[in-house]
Amino acid sequence: MSQVLFAKNRLFLYLCASIFLLQACQSLPSKKKEESKPVVKSVQTGVKRPVEPPMSTPVRLLILNGEYTLAHDQLLTPDNDNAYNYFRAALKLDPTNQRAKGGLQGIVMRYVDLARQAAARGNYSVATSMLNNARIVDRDNLLIKEVSAAISEQIKSAPPVESYKGASNEFLLDTNLLGKNDPQILARLAEIVNKLKTTNSLALIIARTDNEGRWIYQKMREVDPEFRVRGDIKLGSPPRVVLEKIAQ
């Protein structure tokens, strides 16, 4: 009997101890693991652009006009609105301006490209004129000399070209008389103007240079100041005036 009582007491004491330990564990403060904060690194997203040196408003406007006319192939003409004059005017105000200097080189590159294209078509007179225009901008440019030498070799090896006869609506002009107030060339241009009047046509002036084309157009206008000569000027050879019908 005493052994049974002893076993009950041991069981009671074991249960009390278990309850005490459980309560003690719950009352202890729980340690939370410290969460590691993410490391934020600053990332540079923008790319720094080179800062342009300060530029006065007049210089900036001249350069913008120069770049616009260069993009539209207004290289040396017209007289009052061409890239060459704009860039040169900018350099007079700011002699060290790199954009203006680069613009002049852009004109040279464009003329050289036009010379190469003309030479590839076998139109060597136009190619030569384009290189002469490039020399106006930069006479000592090495690229001009290189391309000029290449075109000269190309001309030597090219087969002889038959003289251009022209179509029925084309009026060929004497190259020896262009640019001169010779009665023969003036009579020829007067004949063309009268033909324009009677046929109500447009005049496409084919000339070797811009200056030559403008000279032909001016002399045609002088034939009859009251008659409006309508048409366009295109670089090419031989010099001539093509009559084109007006689209109805």
What are 6's two structure tokens?
Answer: 């002893």
Q: Mean of the per-residue pLDDT values for the chain?
A: 83
Q: What integer pLDDT is reported at residue 20 of this predicted model? A: 45
Band of pLDDT at residue 40, cut at 50, 70 and 90: very low
pLDDT for 24 equals: 47
**Confidence check: pLDDT of 7 > 50:** no
Paired sense of beta strands 201-207 and 240-245, if any = antiparallel
What span, in angstroms and rounded, lies between the C-alpha atoms of 246 and 248? Answer: 6
Domain chopping of the chain, boundaries: 57-157, 170-245
Q: How many helices (H) and strands (E) does the chain have?
A: 8, 4
Rounded CA Rg of the chain: 43
Please give the pLDDT value at position 44.
53
Residue 143 phi, psi dihedral angles, 5° rounding: -65, -40
Digit-coded pLDDT (tens) for 127-162: 999 999 999 999 999 999 999 999 999 888 877 766
User: Could you tell me if 248 and 207 are in contact, meaning their C-beta atoms sit under 8 angstroms apart?
Assistant: no
d(CA 48, CA 69): 29
Tokens matching residue 63: 């350069």
In terms of Cα–Cα distance, which of 210, 212, 229, 211 is closest to 220? 229
Report residue 247's pLDDT band, with 50, 70 and 90 as the boundaries.
low
Percent of the chain scoring above 90 in pLDDT: 58
C-alpha span between 222 and 193 (Å, rounded): 10
pLDDT at 68 over 90: yes
Contact 204, 244 (CB under 8 A): yes
**Mean pLDDT across 51-57:** 76
How far is 122 from 162, CA to CA, in rounded Å?
Answer: 12
Q: Does domain 57-157 have CATH number 1.25.40?
A: yes
Check pLDDT > 80 for residue 54: no
Q: How confident is the model at residue 55 (pLDDT cuts 50, 70, 90)?
A: confident
The answer to whether residue 33 scores a pLDDT higher than 50 is no
Return the pLDDT at 219: 95
Q: Is 105 helix (H, G, I), strand (E, B) or coil?
A: helix
Confirm if 131 and 109 have CB atoms less than 8 A apart: no
Q: Does 122 or 115 have the greater pLDDT score?
A: 115
How many CB atoms neighbour CB 67 within 10 A?
18
- The pLDDT assigned to 246 comes to 78
List the beta bridge partners of residue 207: 235
pLDDT by residue (tens digit) across 163-218?
Answer: 777 788 999 999 889 998 899 999 999 999 999 999 989 999 999 888 999 999 99
What is the pTM (predicted TM-score) of this model?
0.51
Domain 170-245 class in CATH: alpha beta
Alpha-carbon distance 237 to 125, whole Å? Answer: 7
Neighbours of 104 (CB within 10 A): 20
